[in-house]
Amino acid sequence: MAFDYVVVGGGTAGCVLASRLSQDPDVQVLLLEAGGATRPAAMADPMRWTFLVGTEVDWAYETVPQPGAGGAICSWPRGKVLGGSSSINAVMHTRGHRDSYDAWADAGATGWDYPTMLPFLKRIERAVDAPDSRYRGMNGPMIVAQGEVAHPLWEGAVEAAVEVGHPGATDLNNGLEEGVGWSEYNVVDGVRQSAADAYLVPGLERPNLAVVTGAQARRLLLDGGRCSGVEYTKDGELRTASAERQVVLAAGAIGSPQLLLLSGIGPAAQLREAGVDVAADLAGVGEGLHDHPMTTVGYRTTRPVRAAAFVRKPHVRLRSDPADPIDLHLIFSDSPAPSTGTPGAGDGYAMRVALMTPFSRGSVRLNPADPEGAPLIDPNYLAEERDVERMVVGVRRAREVGEAKAFSPWRDRELLPGPDVRDAAACREYVRRSVTTYFHPVGTCRIGVDDGAVVDPELRVRGVEGLRVADASVMPMIVSANTNATTLAIAERAAVLMTGNP
């Protein structure tokens, strides 16, 4: 069947694109999603997101062994359902500091600086608790608000951060501030709001929008240098969908480069090694993978701290060096250890320490032994020693907050890294053996104008007509925040670039 637009991937970006493109009743839009249409009950509860990991709504990827992390193989959950990872994540809605977006433009992503991105960051949100509409959206589809109820532990966390020198921020999502402030979430009346809930569901009755779930894209159809459609499987049957105008990939930092590679678009030598005919020798496809590496500083408490309701929690944005951009994020958690199986964990609180601006880069490549199977995912964690050094600074800053007087009524003892991990060498070793994902892969189809870029500043795949990529994979550098909000904004801007309609 012929469509005007075929969108591959019904995740965060794909839901935005399908919704915006189908607003024009004169175009036919197809959205292909590999996951199913049924969503488990736990998905609605924002407090049960960890129960979704490893289920049918998770691609359940794993990395290759990580030399910088002692050879560890890291679990990499990614959403396999309408709404994608916005349907299984921790529902945080955070934007990067303006420096993040300005760095994109400085790196060659012309027109992707903060002033250009701000209208799209505003367009996505209805910010219930935001104090300033100059920087925050008030009429968008995504409800953005702080937690439902207060908790004295987290009030104490704000006091602790201020006590050790972090400024109190009015709004950490305005792109200008740093310090400690209240996190915001995509939760409505205690229920998760995914990109599918906000964007896709309201338009499902449009006669010009077709949504096909259980549809695994296998390759792009190429005709004389132009992408003319997509080949996919549904219920074991091989099908094709043609695109009169454009195909747009929104399958994320893993799925989008994998589909390009399977279609013969990528580094020629790698394609030949995997037995794939070369259609376009594009060196950057699958390269540049990076994530926010994360570790934990955790404390056992003298009493239970977990609440039955979805409480509001703070987070801290800071700099490892005052002269550098914001590069560290402290996220408060009521679980003192990254695994409930940690001996002696019990009740407690923790700060997840995430490096916002890693220098280490990895890749997504086809597995030559099984090109259509799970790809070889290598974030190359902590390959750069300066990443380790800055995370050690983050551990030290987290300890300062965790040991502050304001936490005294709650604090029992430190569990992680533990009292024996104090000197710099021990802290570096702890960071390497404890590092894990913050679930934010980006960069494998980056925007740019150099030979290593995959898409140009209008998100068109270089050397292939009729094909765009519009998801987290196009970020030249990861933003200093959780990536879902920025991915929504990328898709909003992509829809404008594709249609010309503001």
Greatest pairwise CA separation for the chain in angstroms: 69
Sequence length of the chain is 502
Contact 302, 317 (CB under 8 A): no
Cβ atoms of residues 63 and 377 within 8 Å: yes
Token pair in block for residue 39: 């969503």
Start-to-end Cα distance in the chain: 29
Look up 440 and say whether it is catalytic.
yes
Structure tokens at 361: 């880069």
| Cβ neighbour number for residue 324 with a 10 Å cutoff | 11
* Cis, bond preceding 417 (omega within 30 deg of 0): yes
How far CA 43 is from CA of 59, 116, 385, 404, in Å, comes to 15, 34, 38, 36
Asked if 352 and 402 count as a contact pair (C-beta separation under 8 A), the reply is no
Tell me which DSSP letter residue 202 carries. G
Calpha distance 446→5 (Å, rounded) = 22
- For CA atoms 151, 156, 157, 159, the dihedral sign is positive
- Cα–Cα distance for residue pair 293/435, rounded to 1 Å: 6
- Alpha-carbon radius of gyration of the chain: 22
Q: What count of other Cβ atoms lies within 10 Å of the Cβ of residue 466?
A: 20
CA distance 223 to 185: 44
Q: Which helix (H) or strand (E) holds 289?
A: strand 287-289
Q: Which of 290, 292, 315, 440 is catalytic?
A: 440
CA dist 484 and 198 (Å) reads 13
**Amino acid in the structure at residue 287:** E
Q: Which residues are catalytic?
A: 440
